[in-house]
A and B are shown apart, each in its own frame.
Chain A
Amino acid sequence: MSQTVPVRFADVDVGHELCTLTLTLSGEQVKRYAVVARMPGGRFMGDDDARKEGLPGQIVPGNLSMALFSRLIAESFPGATLKRLGATFRGLVRPGYALLIRGVVTEKHSSDHGDFIECDLILESAEGDRWVTGTATVRLA
């Protein structure tokens, strides 16, 4: 369940686990994202177009995986500001498969610019295959 109260820097320790998002993207959702995000390529549009490109079927754009990481941060730390987001696309993410998106706080630091946490992020299958890994820097309120 999403929290609505801002999370304070003092209340977060290294090792703090972010909430887990569990979802399954539909082919239509992926296509819609690709259109709105102006992603070229049939691989995002449907299975037939993707197979013409030598893929096993429609795939999820890496940018959408990053958006899911961004959503994870927003739901885990309401009121926080995302300062940096990085992702490595390790495997093909496909619509129709259950996805688990989770993360953990790995570091805390403060400067004149504010209080920050570093997070490791994972997008994986229900079987634990890590399809996308990422890191984020977040400024807490």
Chain B
Amino acid sequence: MAIEFDRSIIGSEFDRTVFDPVTAEEAREYAAASTESSAAEGVTSPTFVVRLRGRRFMPANLPDLGRMGFDAGKDIEFGVAVRVGDVLTAVSTVHDIYEKTGRSGTMKFLVLRTTVTNQRAEQVAVIDQKMMFR
């Protein structure tokens, strides 16, 4: 049976957070902990954007998808590089909700899309996070 929910939730914004300027220390710490390297001095390593956590992780009006799921996957489209001093804004929306039946039963998926821009309104990254619920 398909999940029943108010489809107006798709595309709806549930969080918009403006972060403090990226510091050289944050960039260095992330690169060291992730073992990634940055492309150039003053530029963060690529996956630095995943550490941006908005004020609200989940939409408040989410339909009942079952038991709390786990991170099933992620897709990041990279735009311009993040530089030390950038002021980043992350806007999160509900991108998709769907059901899939496999060998282990029926699973429900929630895809949250976070679009990150810098202070020049340039797109830094679009992150699709897929959460799985049983």
Contacts and interface: CB of A to CB of B under 8 A. Distances in A.
A121 interface: no
Interface of A: 29, 32-33, 35-38, 40, 61-64, 66-68, 70-71, 74, 81-89
Majority secondary structure of chain B interface residues (helix, strand, loop or mixed): mixed
Interface string B4-29: 00000000000000000000000001
A75 to B, nearest CB: 8
Interface-centre pick from B53, B72, B76 (highest chain A CB count, 10 A): B76
Given A36-B51, A37-B50, A63-B47, A86 B75 contact: yes
Sort A-B residue pairs by CB-CB distance and give the 3 closest, nearest first. Answer: A67-B34, A86-B75, A36-B33
B76 A71 contact: no
Interface in B35-93: 35-37, 39, 45-47, 50-51, 53, 70-78
A88 B74 CA distance: 7
